[in-house]
A and B are shown apart, each in its own frame.
Chain A
Amino acid sequence: MRGTDLFERRAVISGIGQSAIGRRLGRSGLQLTIDAVLAAVEDAGLTLDDIDGLAMFPGGGAANLPGYANGNLYEVQDALRITTTWRQGLVEGMALPFYGPAQAVATGQARHVVIWRTVKEGSASRAAGGRPAYGSTKPVAEGPLAWLLPVGMLSPVCQVAPYAARYMHEYGVTREQLAWIPVTQRAHAARNPDAVYRSPLTVEEYLESRMISTPMCLYDCDVPVDGATAIVVSAAETAPDLRSPVRIEAMAGVVEGRPSWEQWEDMGRVGHGAARAMWARTDLRPGDVDVAQLYDGFTIEVVWWLEAMGFCEVGEAGAFVEGGKRIALGGDLPLNTWGGQLSGGRLHAAFGHTAEAVRQLRGETGDGQVAGAQVAAVTNVGGFEAGAALLTRW
C-alpha cells in the first residue's frame, strides 16, 4: 500500500482558517463559519470562485448537545454563492476532517473542497447554567444513547470515564502521572494567543480540582467554546496555484471493536486499528514524527493515541508523560502545541488539531513553533470513530 499511488497523496491541505475562539462570542454560527471559510480560502491562496466542494461536520441533522451543530451547509453555500460538484455532511465515517474531502479531490469529483466545524457550545453551556447533558436537545434517548442516558451516563465525560478507570486499573497508571498531559498543554496554550485558557496550571491544582466523573476531573475535560475552523483540501496537481500546501503522507480510519462507548471490548486499548492501518501506508515510523496533535476531548484520549500510534508501549503512557519533558516544546514529541482542546478550546473532531499541524509544518506558529517540523501526526477521537494521519511539509 505504500507509495505514490495512495489516494491521499493526490490531495493536499491547502488552507486553514479560524474565526475568533472564545467562551462566549455572541455571534451566529453562520457568521463564525463565514469568518473561518473566508480565512481558509485566502490562506490557501485561492478565491471563493475556485471552491467547488463543501463539507461540514456534523451534518445539519445531528445535534445532541446545545450549540453542537452550526454553520448549515445550505446557508453557507447560499451566502457565499458557491457552485458545487461535491458536498458532504458528516457524522459517521468522518475519521478525520480531511478524509472525505481528500477522497473527493483525489477522484476528480472536486478540485478545492472546504470543510468546516463550527461550535457554539460555550454560549450553550452559559445559557444552560453549566455544561448540558448530551441528548438534552431531544425528549428521549435514541439509538446508542438509549443505553446510556437513562442510567445517568448523561455526558461524554461519563461515557469516556470508564475507559480511564479501566486503563488505570489494568496498567497501574496514576492521576499524578496523567496530570502532566493537561499541565503541559496549558503551558503550550500560554504561547497561543487564540487559546481560551492560558494561565499556568500545576499538577497540584489538577489534583485538587473538582471531580466531574471519576477518575476524570475538571482539567481532564475539554473546554466548551464558540468558534469555527475551516480547512481547504485541494487536488495535489493544483499545488502551483497554492500559497503553502501540506502533504497528506498517510491516513486511515479503522474501527475494529464494537462501535459503541459502553460496549467497546477492551477499554484499555483504543485507536490501535486506525494507527496500524495508517502506519502500513507509509515508510515513516513513529520516531520520524516531529510534532503530535492527538485528539484530546479528554486526557485519556491522548493516552490512547500515544500508545496506539506507537510513541510508547501499551500501559506506558503514564511514564511517558510524567514530568512533561518528552511532550513539551523542545521534547521528543511536542504534544498539542496549541494547547489542545483541554486549553485551546473544544473545536472538536480534530479540526483544531489539523489546523495546528498545518501551522507547524509551515513554520507559522510563532512562540509555539517546533523548529524545523517536517512530520506531524493528527488523530481523531478513538473507538467508534477513529482516524490517524501523518501530514508532511511540502
Chain B
Amino acid sequence: MDATVGIPPAVTEETEAFWAAAKEGRLVVEGCSSCGAESFPPRGICRSCRARTPVPVEITGRGRVYSLTVNHQRWLPDLPVPYAVVLVEFPGHPGVRVAGRLRGCPPERAAIGMAVDIGFEPGPGGFAIPSFVAVSPADGAAA
C-alpha cells in the first residue's frame, strides 16, 4: 500500500539524525554518552540522567507490537485505506516506542504482541517513514 499521501515531518536539530538514518533504512534513537540510556523521540537530552550529549544509536533487533490501529477513514483526498499503524517496542530497549506503518500481512491480521522487523518505506514529502514488517508466526515464535 502506498504511504506517500500524507503530511511530512518538520525536521529539527534534534530529529535530523533520525530522518537521515530512516532514508538509509536504519532506526536511530538517542543513546546517552554518559549513562547509556536510550531516548525517543530525540530531545537532545537524556531522559534518564539529563546529560546533553546524546549520540545516535541504531536499533537492529526485532520489535513487538505494543498496540495498534487499522485506519479506515480517508482523512486526506486520495489517502489509500485501510492500513495498519503499530506502536512498536523493543526488548532490551526501554524508553523506545516507535509508531509506524505495518507491512507483510493484511491489516486485519495486525495484533498486539506480534513480532515485527524494523523497516521503512517511502512516505510523504520524500521522507522514508517507519514501516514495520510482520514476521510470520513460525519465525516470530523462534525469535
**Residues of chain A lying within 8 A (CB to CB) of residue B98:** 147
- CB neighbors of B among A230-283 (8 A): 262-263, 267
Beyond A146-B9, A158-B69, is A153–B99 a contact (Cβ under 8 Å)?
yes
**Chain B nearest CB, measured from A312 CB (Å):** 22
Among A7-15, A208-216, A331-339, A340-348, the one that faces the other chain is A208-216
A70 → B minimal CB distance (Å): 22
Minimum distance in angstroms from A107 CB to a CB of chain B: 32
Q: Is the CB of A152 within 8 A of B72?
A: no
Q: A213 contacts which of B66, B73, B87 (Cβ < 8 Å)?
A: B73
Answer whether residue B135 sits at the interface, using C-beta atoms and an 8 A cutoff. Answer: no
Among B8, B12, B67, B100, the residue within 8 A (CB) of A162 is B67
User: Which of the four size classes fits the interface of chain B?
Assistant: 35 or more
What 0/1 pattern do residues 152 to 181 of A give for CB contact below 8 A with B? Answer: 111101100111011001000000000000
A210 to B71, CA, bound (A): 11
B99 close to A154 (CB less than 8 A): no
The answer to whether A213 touches B76, judged by C-beta atoms less than 8 angstroms apart, is no
Interface string of B96-108 (1 = CB under 8 A from A): 0111110000000
B10 to A: closest C-beta gap in Å? 4
Chain A residues lying within 8 Å of B71, measured Cβ to Cβ, are 152-154, 158, 161, 212-214
Q: Of residues B79, B99, B112, which shows the largest number of chain A Cβ atoms within 10 Å of its Cβ? A: B99
* Contact A152 to B83, CB < 8 A, known contacts A133-B75, A140-B10, A141-B8: yes
Q: Is the CB of A169 within 8 A of B74?
A: no
Complex contact B69–A161 (CB within 8 A): yes
Closest Cβ of chain B: how far from A291's Cβ, in Å? 32
Please report the number of residue pairs spanning A and B whose Cβ atoms sit closer than 8 angstroms.
Answer: 126
Give the interface centre of A155, A169, A210, A214 by most chain B CB atoms within 10 Å. A214
* B97 x A212 contact (CB < 8 A): no
Q: Which residues of B contact A216 (CB under 8 A)?
A: 69
Q: Is the Cβ of A133 less than 8 Å from the Cβ of B70?
A: no
Query: In the complex, what's the smallest C-beta–C-beta distance from A276 to chain B, in angstroms?
Result: 24
Apart from the given pairs A140-B8, A153-B71, A210-B72, 13 other A-B contacts in the complex at a CB distance below 8 Å: A130-B73, A136-B76, A142-B10, A143-B10, A150-B8, A150-B125, A151-B131, A152-B6, A152-B101, A162-B69, A212-B72, A212-B73, A214-B70
Q: 30 pairs across A/B with beta carbons < 8 Å?
A: A131-B73, A131-B75, A132-B75, A136-B76, A140-B125, A141-B9, A141-B10, A147-B41, A147-B98, A149-B6, A149-B7, A150-B8, A151-B101, A151-B123, A152-B6, A152-B79, A153-B69, A154-B6, A154-B71, A154-B76, A155-B73, A162-B87, A165-B112, A211-B70, A212-B71, A214-B68, A214-B72, A215-B69, A262-B87, A263-B41
Please list the 10 inter-chain residue pairs (A to B) with the smallest Cβ-Cβ separation, ordered nearest first. A161-B69, A162-B67, A133-B75, A146-B9, A154-B75, A166-B67, A149-B7, A214-B70, A140-B10, A142-B10
